[in-house]
Structure 1
Amino acid sequence: MPKQLHDNICAEHLFSSLFKKYSKDLHDFLYFKFGERLNPSDKVQDAFIKLWENCAKIPPSKAKSFLFTTANNLMLNEAAHQKVVFKHQQIKPKSYTTVTPEFLMQEEEYLKKLEKALSNLTEAQRVAFMMNRVEGKRFKEIAALLDISTKAVEKRIYGALKKLQEDIEGFK
């Protein structure tokens, strides 16, 4: 086997000749395999950049294999990235509306009405209602905590709801 004249491809003229020899074939390979959408020209350039960065490690006989493998991997990575981008484009972000001063004023008035209505409830109704609606406890849990029956908890909460609906219009 004849001894190669160059141990690596860091010599500019050798690297340039590799570029002239393989760049078109590499581009065509990527274009036919992946299409134009993933920009094969950029991946060809990136593959040659990686070849230049590793020129001392890669013998000239392995340069073609390195280029094609690297470029193919770059395209696969780009395709995977595009899938993620497409998936996130499908998810519509929550739309946030701007809060007007009128809305803030109405909210404040409603909260005052709610506080007043809650204070008009009996202590038993208020405790059961708050444990259910604010703390998220179930009727059985409330019954166990207050040492009463589940039916008594239901009666207190439904009584509180009825009273709140009377005191605050639009309360559900």
Structure 2
Amino acid sequence: MKESISENICDESVFNRIYNTLGHDLHNFIYYKYGSQVNADDKAQEAFIKLWNNCTKVQLDKAKSFLFTVANNLALNEIKHQKVVLKYQKSKPVKHSYETPEFILEKEQFAERYQKVLESLSEEQRVAFLLSKVEGKTHKEIAQMLDITQKVVEYRIYSAFKVLKEKLEAFKLK
């Protein structure tokens, strides 16, 4: 790149020429140096973004050095970050459970039974109940979604609760 010193990197045509000339080489440099540990495309793009953001501070004859140094540093920072993440994953905090094994078993049994009861509800009851209790929709919103009256929605939810209460009686629902 033997351009005159008067050319400014902030000029879009000059920047495009730098990008077209060095983009592929920069990508290959990062890829060959670090392999699949880092995304070479991303690091090359980030380096060009930094060059654009610092175009007034970087001289044209130093652009190549700037790009390769920045991309290399970005890749090294990514690898350092990956090491920290890996180190944290290896040293998982000890999970303490203050729940008794009986409670955990009952909770699992309840979840299984609850699923079965939900499956036994009619489709209308199940849809209205889940929209209300899981999605948090109001009765009015459910009525609009299902194109029914609000009273029908209330009835379907009430009847679903009644079935749940009857079939899950052993778990003492209130």
Give me the TM-score of the superposition, normalised by structure 2: 0.53
Contact kept in structure 1, 2:37 and 2:79, CA below 8 Å: no
Instruction: Please list the CA deviations of residues 18-45 of structure 1 after superposition, one character each: whole Å capped at 9, or x if unmatched.
Output: 1111011001000010012211111101
* Mapped pair 1:50 → 2:50: yes
Q: Using the alignment, how far apart are the partners of 1:67 and 1:9 within structure 2?
A: 12
Q: Using the alignment, how far apart are the partners of 2:18 and 2:60 within structure 1?
A: 9
* Mapped pair 1:5 → 2:6: yes
Q: Using the alignment, how far apart are the partners of 1:5 and 1:52 within structure 2?
A: 17
User: What is the 5 A alignment of 1:152-171?
Assistant: none
Counterpart for residue 69 of structure 1: 69
Counterpart for residue 84 of structure 2: 84
Instruction: Please list the CA deviations of residues 113-168 of structure 1 after superposition, one character each: whole Å capped at 9, or x if unmatched.
Output: xxxxxxxxxxxxxxxxxxxxxxxxxxxxxxxxxxxxxxxxxxxxxxxxxxxxxxxx
RMSD: 2.2
Q: Using the alignment, how far apart are the partners of 1:66 and 1:40 within structure 2?
A: 16
Q: Using the alignment, how far apart are the partners of 2:26 and 2:35 within structure 1?
A: 13
Unaligned runs of 5+ in 2: 104-174
Q: Using the alignment, how far apart are the partners of 2:38 and 2:13 within structure 1?
A: 30
Counterpart for residue 29 of structure 1: 29
Q: What SS is found at the alignment partner of 1:5?
A: coil
Q: What SS is found at the alignment partner of 1:10?
A: coil
Q: What SS is found at the alignment partner of 2:77?
A: helix
Unaligned runs of 5+ in 1: 104-172
Q: State the identity %.
A: 52
Q: Using the alignment, how far apart are the partners of 1:98 and 1:49 within structure 2?
A: 51
Contact kept in structure 1, 2:51 and 2:63, CA below 8 Å: yes
Contact kept in structure 1, 2:38 and 2:78, CA below 8 Å: yes
Return the letter of the residue paired with 2:86. F
- How far did residue 57 of structure 1 move? 1.0
Number of residue pairs matched by the alignment: 101
Give me the TM-score of the superposition, normalised by structure 1: 0.54
Q: What SS is found at the alignment partner of 1:35?
A: helix
Counterpart for residue 40 of structure 2: 40
Alignment CA distance shift 1:68-1:11 (3 Å): same
Alignment CA distance shift 1:4-1:92 (3 Å): closer
- How far did residue 5 of structure 1 move? 3.4
